[in-house]
Amino acid sequence: MEVIRTKRLILREHTTSDTDKLHAIQSDAVTMAFWPAPFSYEQTESWIERQIASYKANGYGRWAVVRIEDGALIGDAGIVSSEIDGKLENDLGYIIHAGAWREGYGHEAAEGCLRYGFEQLGLGRLVANMPTDHLASRKVAEKLGMKLEKYFFNERNRGKETCLYGINKP
């Protein structure tokens, strides 16, 4: 089911039939360099199952990012309720396959999610977190108008120093 359409992308609900294509992204060492490790096939299956459960429970989650031009699944983006540094937050996240980097897809997908979160879901605040050395992801957050709120050491990601960006509904 299509959730968000941007100029070049469709963000739609994941289905179990996405597993092979999403795993090709989540198992890529370059794409996942800022995550604790590339995903195993079972981790990708579990990721999709959690998103499907989130759609049913919350009406949102992480969505498949599909390029309109050729129908290719190039990533995953969306909003999940997540504990970040001890606080429950609406976490805006995005993963774009390394082969599609530097094309603006991360920003385009994240911007669509931001608008959807505020306008359709009525959320009052969104955050994004990433390792401090993930400069491209930080640029996406800043371009969205998010402000750096703090640094913390993320126990869920190898204890790496992490940035927390936030934005309140306008």
Q: Assess if residue 134 is contained within a domain.
A: no
**Residue 10: strand pairing partners:** 5, 66
Domain count, the chain: 1
Q: Assess if residue 166 is contained within a domain.
A: no
- Full-model pTM: 0.93
Give the H or E element holding residue 73: strand 73-84
Q: Which two tokens stand for residue 140?
A: 């996406």
**Structural domain for 21, as ranges:** 2-123
For residue 92, the tally of other CB atoms under 10 A from its CB is: 29
Q: Assess if residue 151 is contained within a domain.
A: no
Within 13 A of 169's CA, how many CA atoms are on the CB side?
A: 12
Query: CA 7, 93, 46, 88 torsion: positive or negative?
Result: negative
| pLDDT digit string, tens, across residues 58-98 | 999 999 999 999 999 999 999 999 999 889 999 999 999 99
8-state DSSP, 98: G
Q: Assess if residue 103 is contained within a domain.
A: yes
pLDDT in the model for residue 36? 85
The CATH number given to whatever domain includes residue 63 is 3.40.630.30
Q: Assess if residue 165 is contained within a domain.
A: no
Distance of CA 145 to the CA centre of its chain: 16
